[in-house]
A = this chain, B = another copy of it.
Amino acid sequence: MPSCPAACHRSPGRRRSGRRLRITEADSLDPRASNPLSSVLRLRPHLRVLVFDSGVYRMPAKRQRPRRKSASKSKVYDMALIQRGARLRRSPFFDSTLKAGCKSYTVYNHTFLPSYYDDPVTEYWHLLKHVALWDVAVERNVEIRGPDGFDFMQLLTPRDMEKCRVGQGKYVLITDDAGGILNDPVLLRLEENRFWIALADSDILLWAKGVARGSGLDVTISEPDASPLQVQGPKSKALMADLFGEKVTALPYYFFTPTELDGIPVLVTRTGWTAEVGYELYLLDASRGEDLWNAVMKAGKPYNIRPTGPSDIRRIEAGILNYGADMTMEENPYEVDLGRLVDLDKSSDFIGRAALQRIKDEG
Contacts and interface: CB of A to CB of B under 8 A. Distances in A.
Interface of A: 22-23, 29, 31, 54-55, 57, 76-88, 95, 98, 102-108, 110, 112, 115-116, 176-177, 182, 201-204, 206-216, 322-325, 351
Contacts of A86: 22-23, 55, 57, 322, 325
Contact of A105 (B83, B105, B206): B83
Contacts of A54: 83-85
A213 B351 contact: yes
Contact of A202 (B105, B201, B203, B211): B203
Q: How many copies of the shown chain assemble into the complex? A: 2
Contact of A182 (B29, B110, B206): B206
B203 A87 contact: no
Contacts of A79: 80-84
A107 B83 CA distance: 8
**Interface hub of A78, A104, A107, A208 (most chain B Cβ within 10 A):** A107
B95 A29 contact: yes
Nearest to A81: B105
B80 A106 contact: no
A206 B329 CA distance: 10
Contacts of A325: 85-87
B203 A55 contact: no
Contact of A213 (B82, B206, B209, B211): B211
Contacts of A55: 83-86
B81 A107 contact: no
Contacts of A213: 177, 210-211, 214, 351
A351 B76 CA distance: 45
Nearest to A25: B86
15 contacts: A31-B98, A54-B85, A55-B85, A78-B80, A80-B104, A81-B84, A81-B104, A82-B83, A82-B107, A86-B325, A87-B322, A202-B203, A207-B210, A211-B213, A214-B215
